[in-house]
Amino acid sequence: MRRIDSKLLNDVSGQAKQLPRLRKNYNLHPELSAVVQRLLNAMEPGTYIQPHKHDNPDKTEYFFVLRGRIAVFKFDDEGNITDYVILDQADGKYGVEILPGTYHSLISLQSGSVAFEVKEGPYELSTAKNFAPWAPPEEHPGVPAYLKKLTDHLQNNGCLM
In tens, the pLDDT along 17-62 reads: 999 999 999 999 999 889 999 999 999 999 999 999 998 889 999 9
Closest residue by Cα to residue 24 from 99, 128, 117: 117
Gap between the Cα atoms of 121 and 159, Å rounded: 33
pTM, rounded to two decimals: 0.95
**Which positions ≥6 away from 110 have C-beta within 8 Å?**
45, 68, 69
Gap between the Cα atoms of 127 and 134, Å rounded: 19
pLDDT, the chain, mean: 95
DSSP state, residue 89: G
> C-alpha 20: how far from its chain's center?
16
In tens, the pLDDT along 142-151 reads: 999 999 999 9
Closest residue by Cα to residue 42 from 112, 139, 138: 112
* Domains detected in the chain: 6-155 (2.60.120.10)
Sign of CA dihedral 106, 4, 31, 61: negative
3-state SS assignment for residue 74: strand
